[in-house]
């Protein structure tokens, strides 16, 4: 993957295998999930060519994974390797499809609407890249090879996921931990980088009792049985989902806290994360989501650079035996909450009660979200991704995004591309209502690039941007007569810990590149973090391959400011302009210790960082 590309999940599509369907049977009864079509795609939105005018943009598929490998998946996460691995979670968001063995000799299994003896899940429902795959699977897609492997099977004290599937997944680089919500038990699981389950958080008990509410414990008798006639493909109330008071979905990490969405309300809660990545004993209610026509769940959460919390809703599961509608349509929103400033002690929440809202799609009330949201780089004036502006664009998954019901509006939109787009909307972060209503200030990208159907809803899942954020690459002062262009990075930095241990600290390799058109020749490195020091303070830029020695408390986070400037300006005295970036990192407790207890070489550390 390249920075700025988007990992997107969605329903792959269907086919009719074998011989043609003879007269008589309903076509839909012979239609199956197409195992060859992708459930995961990496889309390239790096060059939309023109400013946003509500048009469809070319978003070619950079890479894809067939549904036969992962099964139907919703949640997405990326780790922090240079070539990041992709992680996706098994889901029931696109229905639970069941079949019986072929009984009429047409080479196709017999689809079922209700549970029955000998019923099994349809091929493509769960992944087969590993025979152990199922509804509790987290799948890992190798960032260098594309190989799919089973990362983890989520279970609770021997209770395997029976079919409700998982919710979302988030990776917390600072602690090297993954957090996964389980739609079967209501638990949140903590996994290490190897997929080992290190413990759970139970909102139904720990969260609710901390707030003085009655505990809603896991019910081990609430198990899905697709061989029971009570199971109904089109009725999610028969899928053994947990009680809404303990059912969780969307996740995000911000400020050493894990934020999670609870179906009842819906509500947003948070719990602290300890230094070892475990759950703290401090669950906290954050806010109630304002009511909607239906209590749509929050399936994804993201924080923008200003600390505002953005939530994506998804319509209630509808089953979709006909593969048309997997989620209730037309009212799922993307909302933005802002912290009170200062916090008003008279209000129960730290967040402003009434959220901002983004207009998503042109249909109906402009609430056509499908439950995925991410923040990506901004664009330059020439409409290229600006990797120096790390938090400029919001991308949301949605349905029928350019397909308004009014013929006059359809005529306006038709010159800009297809109408039946199930895919992505991208818009600048500040464009909340009443701005961008309707969303002509947005780009739209289709999931599979093929002509859609006008009556399909809930076909999209989650979206995750691959971003490498080194800090705000913006010069605080322009050089007179020859300003640093503000639509691109004026410097770029790569950094890596070195296995060389200095007399007073550990070495940090910096690779600084001057991206301005100016003769900047000196680098200054400082840290505002108490207890930390960085030396040398100043050194010539040279070829950009620098080394600094950092000292401070082991395992603690610190900031390091990097300033690139002209030495002659500094020598002249007074305030001088610089091109500045801020690095945030953790001081390693153990530096470069290999399996045998010895110190790794820089080359071995490099290979480890690259995932080799």
Domain harbouring 575, CATH code: 2.60.40
CA torsion, ordered 89, 92, 95, 97, to nearest 10 deg:
90
Does residue 481 belong to any structural domain of this protein?
no
The whole-chain average pLDDT of the chain stands at: 89
Question: Domain boundary residue among 429, 448, 465?
Answer: 465
Percent of all residues in the chain with a pLDDT value above 70, rounded to a whole number: 93
Q: Assign residue 279 the CATH number of its domain.
A: 2.120.10.30
Does residue 478 belong to any structural domain of this protein?
no
Same domain, 517 and 385: no
User: What's the rounded mean pLDDT across residues 49-77?
Assistant: 96
User: What's the rounded mean pLDDT across residues 534-541?
Assistant: 89
Question: Domain boundary residue among 431, 465, 499?
Answer: 465
Same domain, 315 and 250: yes
Question: What pLDDT score does 583 carry?
Answer: 77
The end-to-end CA distance of the chain, in Å, is: 16
Which of 223-237, 478-492, 546-560 has the lowest average pLDDT?
A: 478-492
Give the pLDDT band (50/70/90) at residue 476.
very low
Supply angle C-alpha 370, 374, 376, rounded to 5.
Answer: 140
Which of 392-396, 443-447, 488-492 has the lowest average pLDDT?
A: 488-492
> DSSP of 567-592, one letter per residue?
HHHHHT-S----EEEEEEEE--SS-S
Query: Which tokens belong to 525?
Result: 């490195």
**Per-position b or e across 534-548, b if 16+ CB within 10 A of its CB:** beeeeeebeebebeb
Does residue 202 belong to any structural domain of this protein?
yes
Domain count along the chain: 2
pLDDT tens-digit readout, 414-464:
999 999 999 999 999 999 999 999 999 999 999 998 877 889 999 999 999
**Per-position b or e across 97-115, b if 16+ CB within 10 A of its CB:** bbbeeeeeebebbbbbebb
Does residue 480 belong to any structural domain of this protein?
no
Give the integer Cα–Cα distance in Å for 511 and 501: 19
Same domain, 110 and 213: yes
User: What's the rounded mean pLDDT across residues 575-594?
Assistant: 75
Same domain, 136 and 197: yes
Range of the domain at 166: 6-465
Does residue 473 belong to any structural domain of this protein?
no
Same domain, 283 and 222: yes
Give the integer Cα–Cα distance in Å for 454 and 329: 12
Same domain, 573 and 450: no
Question: Domain boundary residue among 431, 448, 465?
Answer: 465
Same domain, 102 and 143: yes
Does residue 484 belong to any structural domain of this protein?
no
pLDDT tens-digit readout, 379-389:
887 788 877 67
Half-sphere exposure of 24 (CA within 13 A, CB side): 1
Give the pLDDT band (50/70/90) at residue 608.
low
**In whole angstroms, how far apart are CA 392 and each of 53, 429, 489, 573?**
17, 6, 13, 36
Bond into 438 cis (ω within 30): yes
Same domain, 275 and 130: yes
Give the integer Cα–Cα distance in Å for 319 and 317: 6
Element (H, E) at 491: strand 491-501
Same domain, 506 and 367: no
Same domain, 213 and 325: yes
Same domain, 264 and 410: yes
Contact, 442 vs 54, CB < 8 A?
Answer: yes
Same domain, 414 and 527: no
User: What's the rounded mean pLDDT across residues 237-259?
Assistant: 97
Within 8 A by CB and 6+ apart from 185, the residues are 156, 159, 161, 218, 242
Within 8 A by CB and 6+ apart from 51, the residues are 383
Does residue 595 belong to any structural domain of this protein?
yes
SS3 state at 528: coil
Residue in 456, 164, 461, 167 with CA at minimum distance from that of residue 329:
456
Residue in 496, 469, 511 with CA at minimum distance from that of residue 591:
496
């Amino acid at each position: 993957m390249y920075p700025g590309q988007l990992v997107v999940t969605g329903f792959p599509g269907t086919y009719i295998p074998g011989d043609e369907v003879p007269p008589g049977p309903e076509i839909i009864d012979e239609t199956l999930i197409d195992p060859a079509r992708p459930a995961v795609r990496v889309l390239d939105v790096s060059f939309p060519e023109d400013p946003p005018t509500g048009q469809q943009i070319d978003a070619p598929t950079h890479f894809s994974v067939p549904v036969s490998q992962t099964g139907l998946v919703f949640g997405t996460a990326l780790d922090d390797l240079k070539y990041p691995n992709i992680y996706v979670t098994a889901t029931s968001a696109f229905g639970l499809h069941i079949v019986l063995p072929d009984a009429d000799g047409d080479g196709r299994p017999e689809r079922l609407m209700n549970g029955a003896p000998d019923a099994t899940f349809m091929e493509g429902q769960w992944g087969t890249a590993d025979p152990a795959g199922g509804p509790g699977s987290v799948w890992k897609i190798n960032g260098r090879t594309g190989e799919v492997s089973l990362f983890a099977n989520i279970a609770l004290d021997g209770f395997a996921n029976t079919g409700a599937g998982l919710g979302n997944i988030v990776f917390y680089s600072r602690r090297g931990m993954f957090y996964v919500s389980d739609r079967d038990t209501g638990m949140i699981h903590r996994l290490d980088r190897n997929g080992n389950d290190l413990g759970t958080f139970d909102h139904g008990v720990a969260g609710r009792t901390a707030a003085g509410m009655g505990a809603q414990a896991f019910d081990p008798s609430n198990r899905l049985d697709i061989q029971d006639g009570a199971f109904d493909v089109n009725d999610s109330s028969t899928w053994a989902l947990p009680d809404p008071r303990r059912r969780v979905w969307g996740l995000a990490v911000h400020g050493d806290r894990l934020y999670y969405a609870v179906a009842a309300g819906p509500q947003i809660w948070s719990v602290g994360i300890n230094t070892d990545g475990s759950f703290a004993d401090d669950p906290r209610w954050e806010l109630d989501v304002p009511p909607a026509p239906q209590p749509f769940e929050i399936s994804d959460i993201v924080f923008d650079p200003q600390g505002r919390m953005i939530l994506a809703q998804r319509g209630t599961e509808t089953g979709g035996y006909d593969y048309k509608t997997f989620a209730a349509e037309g009212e799922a929103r993307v909302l933005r909450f802002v912290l009170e400033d200062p916090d008003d002690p008279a209000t129960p929440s730290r967040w402003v009660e009434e959220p901002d809202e983004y207009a998503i799609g042109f249909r109906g009330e402009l609430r056509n979200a499908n439950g995925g949201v991410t923040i990506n780089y901004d664009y330059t004036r020439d409409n290229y991704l600006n990797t120096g502006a790390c938090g400029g664009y919001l991308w949301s998954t949605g349905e029928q995004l350019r397909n308004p019901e009014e013929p006059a509006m359809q005529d306006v939109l038709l010159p800009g591309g297809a109408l039946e787009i199930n895919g992505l909307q991208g818009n600048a972060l500040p464009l909340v209502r009443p701005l961008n209503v309707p969303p002509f200030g947005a780009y739209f990208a289709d999931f599979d690039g093929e002509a859609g159907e006008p009556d399909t809803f809930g076909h999209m899942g989650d979206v995750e941007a691959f971003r490498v954020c080194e800090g705000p690459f913006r010069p605080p002062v322009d050089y007179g007569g020859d300003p640093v262009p503000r639509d691109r990075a004026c410097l770029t930095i790569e950094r890596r810990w070195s296995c060389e241990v200095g007399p007073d600290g550990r070495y940090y390799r910096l690779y600084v590149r001057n991206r301005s058109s100016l003769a900047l020749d000196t680098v200054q490195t400082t840290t505002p973090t108490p207890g930390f020091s960085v030396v040398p303070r100043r050194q010539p830029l040279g070829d950009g391959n620098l080394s600094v020695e950092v000292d401070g408390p082991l395992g603690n986070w610190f900031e390091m400011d990097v300033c690139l400037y002209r030495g002659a300006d500094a020598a002249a005295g007074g305030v001088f302009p610089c091109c500045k970036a801020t690095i945030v990192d953790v001081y390693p407790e153990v530096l470069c210790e290999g399996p045998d207890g010895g110190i790794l070489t820089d080359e071995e550390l490099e290979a480890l960082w690259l995932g080799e």
